[in-house]
Amino acid sequence: MNIFKQKSVSRILFVATDAMPYVKAGGLGAVMYSLPKALKKLGYDVRVFIPKYAGIDQERFPMDMAFEGLKVPTGSDGSVENQPKELICNIKSFDPLKHSDVDNFKGVFTYFLENQEYYEQRSNIYGYGDDAVRWALLSRGALEFLRNNKSWTPDIIVSSDWQTGFLCNYLRTEYKNDADLNKISSIFMIHNLYYQGMFDHRFISELDYDDGQSPIPSFYDSRLLKINGMRRGILYSDIITTVSQNYAREIMTENYGELLDGLLREKKSRVYGILNGIDYEEYNPETDKFLAHNYSVKNIDTRKKNKAELQSRFGLEVEDKKFLIGIVSRFFEQKGLDLLFPIADVLMKELDVQFAILGEGDGKYMGFFQDLEKKYPGKVGAHLKFDKILPHLIFSGSDAFLVPSKFEPFGLTQIEAMRYGAIPVVRKTGGLADTVEDFNAAENSGTGFVFNDFDSNALLISIIRAYENFRNKKVWVEIQKRAMSQDFSWDESAREYSRIFFLAKGFRLRDLEEK
């Protein structure tokens, strides 16, 4: 009997900390909007489950009561005052089919876990001392809702990163004897292996080390703060996915495995890399409302008008012959911006280049770019504060786009830049290696300029290569057209996930048969 043919997959539930357009803290929120929407187009019954934060606009997204008075076990025996055995929550829902007039919203049916203390009284999504409790509550609350709500049961639950690694653990331990929940397949998505819990996993003491085998402590036990949600998500899920094929290979090595490479190698047969995508409706140079001038691959020369607009907005000399390099980034060590420190003066003095820089983060990078702007007025422009409009302008006006990351699970800005014809200069790591093809003059191929070693000289050589090819107008336009013609839409990613759903269900059925 072929167990992989025994049951089809049609119902998918994504459980996450945030999802657009309700609330977004980073790239995960965008994924939790775009991927479910793309799967819905393929015919899946897809739903999302997130906390109900105070900042969610309920006038824009009117909610119905899906389940009132849900009792979520805390793991406490109730013997200690102020440590109840259960927390009472409500489940609200938003159905886009009932409110199709909401800003042309094209998302999916969404559940919201309502709890005053842990979600609605907080002004931010992350950053609280009891975050581990908040995510354990989210994970167990989702499962309790499914256990009590018999009207809809998913075939697959997809959870993301350490925050919902708890769910994979609960599903296979606390709910292993539940006849309905035990059949649900679990997929664990790794967006960034570096973040594993509310601690630095590289410097955890032996006493606090979590091997993933012990029961998850109660919500009120201080040991919960030391639980490695990433490890447990990997251990207890049926399939593990990452955001690019190359990153899936990298995290099985000591250099990138963040001390989990051994575990990942043990589960190698169940680890898959699937590229993320971008929303081609939002990132479309033909229709983008944030651009001074719209254009397409057919009239690419119009980009020079956006370049002039970008130069003007960032206080740069307005001149099309200048080689304008864009940077849109969070300023952290991961992003590899340290590589610019020893070569910036050489670039500014020896090449006819300009920089348009957008981002914020660690002080050493903020200070570096601020000083560079003062030192080279008209050649360097820096906007050191997050802005949702300026990235579009930088993508549409830059000649090249810099992403020299130390490590990069997927990256996003490099494919957004390519969509607009800004040619990426990237390090060959993670998703950058999967999405940018190095330019080959002999074969007239490639979509960017790629360097291997995490080294300032390697970056310098790649920038010089890009600079020299920029000066050949015909060659540069051909590179731009190839870059703009790449397909990084969510449609292809959704088709890959469709295949993974089928495998996950097969693995679950096989595991049940073996037991």
CATH of domain 13-50+131-277+491-514: 3.40.50.2000
Task: State yes or no: pLDDT of 22 exceeds 60.
Answer: yes
Asked whether the beta carbons of 145 and 468 are under 8 A apart, the reply is no
* pLDDT tier for residue 5 given thresholds of 50, 70 and 90: very low
Widest Cα–Cα separation across the chain: 76
Four-CA torsion 435, 436, 442, 444, nearest 10 degrees: 80
Task: State yes or no: pLDDT of 137 exceeds 70.
Answer: yes
Mean pLDDT for 158-169 is: 97
* Topology of the domain comprising 297-487: Rossmann fold (3.40.50)
Cα angle for residues 419, 462, 243 (degrees, 5° grid)? 45
pLDDT for residue 1:
34
Number of neighbouring beta carbons within 10 Å of residue 61: 20
Among 154, 185, 184, which residue's Cα sits nearest to residue 45?
A: 154
Rounded (10°) angle between helices 131-148 and 165-172 = 50
* pLDDT (tens digit per residue) in 365-391: 999 999 999 999 999 999 999 888 999
Strand 323-331 and strand 239-242: pairing? unpaired
User: Whole-angstrom Cα distance, residue 288 to residue 391?
Assistant: 12
As a residue count, the chain comes to 515
Among 302, 368, 354, which residue's Cα sits nearest to residue 325?
A: 354
Give SS3 for 284. Answer: coil
pLDDT for residue 103:
52
Rounded (10°) angle between helices 390-397 and 303-313 = 130
Strand 109-114 and strand 323-331: pairing? unpaired
More confident residue, 442 or 122: 442
Among 21, 17, 50, 52, which residue's Cα sits nearest to residue 34?
A: 21
* pLDDT tier for residue 434 given thresholds of 50, 70 and 90: very high
Cβ-Cβ contacts under 8 Å for 271 (sequence gap 6 or more): 239, 240, 241, 242, 248, 252, 264
Q: How far is CA 184 from the centre of its chain?
A: 24
Structure tokens that stand for 350 in this block? 């020896």
Would you list the domain boundaries of the chain?
13-50+131-277+491-514, 297-487
Mean pLDDT for 42-71 is: 94
Running DSSP on this structure, what letter comes out for residue 117? Answer: I
Q: Name the H helices within 211-260.
A: 229-236, 245-250
User: Whole-angstrom Cα distance, residue 485 to residue 174?
Assistant: 49
pLDDT for residue 4:
39
Q: What's the one-letter identity of residue 255?
A: N
Half-sphere exposure of residue 486: CA atoms within 13 angstroms, side-chain side: 27
CA dist list (Å): 106 to 98, 103, 110, 479: 12, 9, 12, 34
Among 129, 111, 112, which residue's Cα sits nearest to residue 120?
A: 112
User: Whole-angstrom Cα distance, residue 283 to residue 288?
Assistant: 7
* pLDDT (tens digit per residue) in 72-105: 999 999 899 999 999 999 999 999 888 766 555 5
Mean pLDDT for 239-267 is: 96
Q: What is the mean pLDDT of the chain?
A: 94
* pLDDT tier for residue 329 given thresholds of 50, 70 and 90: very high
pLDDT for residue 104:
54
pLDDT for residue 284:
95
For 501, the enclosing helix (H) or strand (E) is helix 490-514
Q: Do domains 13-50+131-277+491-514 and 297-487 have the same CATH topology?
A: yes
More confident residue, 375 or 5: 375
* pLDDT tier for residue 107 given thresholds of 50, 70 and 90: confident
Burial of 97 (0-12, 13-18, 19+ CB in 10 A): exposed
More confident residue, 343 or 126: 343
Mean pLDDT for 345-357 is: 97
Strand 64-73 and strand 86-94: pairing? antiparallel
pLDDT for residue 6:
43
* pLDDT (tens digit per residue) in 260-307: 999 999 999 999 999 999 888 889 999 999 999 999 999 999 999 999
pLDDT for residue 438:
98
The pTM score is: 0.91
Percent of the chain exceeding pLDDT 90 equals 85
User: Whole-angstrom Cα distance, residue 418 to residue 432?
Assistant: 12
How many helices (H) and strands (E) the chain has is answered by 15, 15
